[in-house]
Amino acid sequence: MIASTVGQLALGKHDASAARRVSWRAYAAMAAGIFLYVFAIWYEVYQDTRDDAAQWSDPFLQSHRQWRLRTTFVYLLWSILAGFSIPFGFGVLLLLPVWAWYAYRVAKGMILYASGRVI
């Protein structure tokens, strides 16, 4: 269902509300990713890097799409670094601020998205 919605957006068959629903789903996946990290990565890679999603011409949707991708992949890189650092004793100390930063970015993105502001 999501793939067909995104495909129709690229073709201009749906109104802007359909594009907003897709973006809200992406933010919901990111919020779930605070606890279910693999789900957030899968959704961001599957949904936001598709050719159809990249063709959205609305600057508002593009800015939020880029925000979600940057946030998710920076979180991935820092989480991997923290995971490799756990045996040395400071990985957990690194993981906690990374998790807090990710939660902050998700909340800030959702607030700006709800208010209709470009990031």
Query: pLDDT per residue over 44-77, tens digit each?
Result: 767 666 666 656 678 888 888 888 888 888 888 8
Mean pLDDT estimate for the chain: 76
| Poorest-pLDDT segment among 7-16, 65-74, 84-93 | 7-16
Q: What mean pLDDT comes out for the span 34-44?
A: 71
Do residues 91 and 84 lie in contact, with contact meaning Cβ atoms separated by under 8 Å?
A: yes
Per-residue pLDDT band at 97 (split at 50, 70, 90): very high
The pTM (predicted TM-score) of the whole model is 0.67
CA-based Rg of the chain, rounded to a whole angstrom? Answer: 15
pLDDT at 53: 60
CA–CA distance, 105 with 83 (Å, rounded to integer): 21
